[in-house]
Amino acid sequence: MLRITKNSNKIVSIQFSTKQEVPDNYKQPEIDSFVIIPGVTQYNHIYSTGNWLVFDSHDSYIGVQFSNETDLDRFFTMLMRDIKLNQLISVETKNSK
């Protein structure tokens, strides 16, 4: 399980957005954190645009805004390392049963 929180890693904000039609006065909610559970949480695409890292799913997406693109690159490298570690731990746990 990986938790992404706006109180770490030079994250400026985290915003949740829906792909459904919304009224003109709809304001995207800012969230404090979200969790990625490998093997459970599914995103169609994970991409960056400028200093934003976007987790895109079927009917919504979460945008994580960083101070700059360098901080985004550092975070993405760390995220990939953490996901790989979680995969290794999961495989090791399954093999030891």
pLDDT at residue 56, as a whole number: 94
Domain carrying residue 77? 2-95
Task: Tell me which residue of 36, 15, 40 sits closest to 79, measured CA to CA.
Answer: 36
pLDDT class of 95 with cuts at 50, 70, 90: low
Q: Average of pLDDT values for 78-94?
A: 73
pLDDT at residue 92, as a whole number: 55
The pLDDT tens digits of the residues spanning 8-43 come to 778 999 999 988 888 888 888 889 999 988 778 888
**Comparison of pLDDT for 92 and 61, the residue scoring more:** 61
**Domain total in the chain:** 1
- Whole-model pTM? 0.78
Measured at the CA of 51, the angle between CA 49 and CA 9, to 5 degrees, comes to 135
Print the SS3 string covering the chain: CEEEECCCCCEEEEEEEECCCCCCCCCCCECCEEEECCCCCCCCEEEEECCEEEEECCCEEEEEEECCHHHHHHHHHHHHHHHHHHHHHHHHHHHCC
Give the span between the Cα atoms of 48 and 69, in whole angstroms: 9
pLDDT at residue 29, as a whole number: 83
Question: Comparing 5-14, 18-27, 65-74, 82-91, which segment has the lowest mean pLDDT?
Answer: 82-91
